[in-house]
A and B are shown apart, each in its own frame.
Chain A
Amino acid sequence: MRFFCVAAALATASAFTTSPAAFTTISPSVGERSVNNVFADNSAHRTRKATIVMDGKANAIRDRITSVKNTRKITMAMKLVAAAKVRRAQDAVLATRPFSETLQSVFGGLIERLGGEAAELPLLTQRDVKKVTIVVITGDRGLCGGYNSFMIKKAEKRYNELKAAGVDADMVLIGKKGITYFQRRKFPIRKTFETGQNPDSKQALAISEELLNTFLSGETDAVELLYTKFVSLIASTPSIRTLVPFSASEISQKGDEVFQLTSGNGDFEVERKELDVAEPQEFPNDMIFEQDPLQIVNSILPLYLNGQILRTLQESVASELAARMQSMQSASDNAGSLAKDLSMQYNRARQAAVTQEILEIVSGAQALE
């Protein structure tokens, strides 16, 4: 008898140490096991203290229900915190617009003026590609669903593709999750950075400096950036773009996209908006160029790279937050349904115990007659 109770208690204790993943499976009921044990042995009368619901002492199922409900509160709070941070990320994206627009328009105007001359700039010329640097943006923390694993898979696939095509490849990693994964598997890593929750200009500057140095010194022939595009709360697409060398037409003609977190149907939603390309700057005839237009273009390109990196960092952080919102929502839903199941078990056990007592009393009374 004792043994069964102890075993039941041990099973309960191990069920207490749950991780969020555990919420996706309903563990075979501990409570049921205790109840069944009590009945199966026909010894309920003798072991009164095994009546699991009627005594005022600590009760296994009741404790579990409380713990599950508390966990649900925590996961709901994490979801709302992530939503607030997405708002912040979206404001940060909008704050980068004026700078990028001015850049795009001046660049467009200068390119028109220069025509073919600009194609000779090192940052604009396509080289023979023998070595590629892959920049991978992942997150620093977990609990964000498939965000990090999708990105890592895509990065590994791209790396293997390049290797199979005979191109030498190495990596620049941003974000702890990517760093631990690739370091453990001994991939060639050029440099690592941390993402942080709030990407700022300083980080972007450090990264773009590293990439420019690598490209201009000839250590790499192309730089590709892998980041997660923030499409909607449910969908996020890992995307690849070639960052360096730039394409003059892409800089001056590619419109920008911004996202906005709104509420629709009582829940969060994301709207994605395409913005128009900034008009190429018209330079009046008496415009004085303090430096040669070519030199000015050359000085604009690093600023453009900086802006692009900052934008993709912000977008990746927003995707990570959206993924976290989704996974916390699922965790809360699972916790809710688990709490409901446990409550039902608790009530059933309680009612069964009451019925049992009544039966005993009635049969005892009958025996006396």
Chain B
Amino acid sequence: MMQSTLLRRIAPTLTRRALSSNAAEASSVMTLNFNLPHETIYNGATVSQVIVPGAAGEYGVTADHVPVVAQLKAGVLQIMHESAGEPEKYFVPGGFSITHDNSVTDISCPEAVKVDDIDPAAVSSNFEAARNAYTAAEAGSAAQAEAMVDMEVYRSMGSAVGINLS
């Protein structure tokens, strides 16, 4: 399973055709439903590709992709629209994504924010605060675990906006 996943990432075209159960129609666009609890960002939008930050690794979804269901980790969700250009980037803290066998992908996240709207200064200062909380907390306590999670999220937010935090 892991090997086929790797293979799929390296040689998407070949394995995709072989594994796809619906090899009949080859449409070049996929349908995206991107939902948050309080609003729907995309409903039935046709896009050319979506790069999803899965918990086991980032993966790309295009038309006729094999059905996949995956948990997401904190990271950047990139949406490539049909009209080629810069991909639209959203930072999501988690959620899950399910790709059906008819090229429809449902992505559900508790929150999503456009990467353009993220303030790098705020990210750095919050990361510092989380790191201080981490060192100040006693080892193995819930506070330390929370601070560790905070640091992870801010680190990936930082890499999304282009600053290197460690």
Residues of chain A touching chain B, judged by Cβ–Cβ distance below 8 Å, are 92, 95-96, 98-100, 102-103, 106, 200-202, 204-205, 213, 217, 281, 283-291, 293, 295-296, 299-300, 303, 306-307, 310
Contact = CB atoms under 8 A, between A and B. Distances in A.
Contacts of A285: 21
Contact of A288 (B5, B40, B71): B5
A274 B110 CA distance: 25
Contacts of B33: 98, 102
B70 A290 contact: yes
A303 B59 CA distance: 22
Contacts of A95: 38-40
A96 B39 CA distance: 6
Contact of A296 (B5, B40, B43, B96): B96
Contact of B69 (A92, A103, A283): A283
A287 B101 CA distance: 8
A205 B68 CA distance: 27
A101 to B, nearest CB: 9
B163 interface: no
B95 A303 contact: yes
Contacts of B101: 284, 286-287
Nearest to B19: A286
A98 B44 CA distance: 11
A98 B43 contact: yes
B55 A98 contact: no
Interface in B1-28: 1, 5, 19, 21
Contacts of A296: 69-71, 96
Contact of B106 (A102, A293, A307): A102
B56 interface: yes
A200 B43 contact: no
12 contacts: A96-B37, A98-B35, A102-B108, A103-B108, A106-B69, A283-B67, A287-B68, A290-B55, A296-B70, A299-B96, A300-B96, A307-B37
Given A98-B43, A201-B110, A290 B68 contact: yes
B45 interface: no
Nearest to A290: B70
Given A102-B106, A103-B108, A299-B96, A310 B69 contact: no
B71 A290 contact: yes
A204 B111 CA distance: 11
Given A106-B96, A290-B54, A306-B37, 4 more contacts: A95-B40, A201-B38, A290-B71, A299-B96
Contact of A303 (B1, B21, B110): B110
Given A102-B33, A102-B106, A106-B98, A310 B38 contact: yes
Given A296-B96, A300-B96, A102 B37 contact: no
B140 to A, nearest CB: 14
Contact of B38 (A92, A289, A293): A92
Contact of A99 (B68, B70, B108): B108
Nearest to B107: A102
A200 B95 CA distance: 18
Contacts of A213: 142
Q: Which of A100, A291, A306 has the most CB of B within 10 A?
A: A291
A281 B21 contact: no
A303 B98 contact: no
Contacts of A217: 142
B119 to A, nearest CB: 17
A338 to B, nearest CB: 43
A290 B39 CA distance: 26
A290 B96 CA distance: 10
A116 B59 CA distance: 31
A73 to B, nearest CB: 35
A96 B40 CA distance: 8
B38 A96 contact: yes
B69 to A, nearest CB: 6
B66 interface: yes
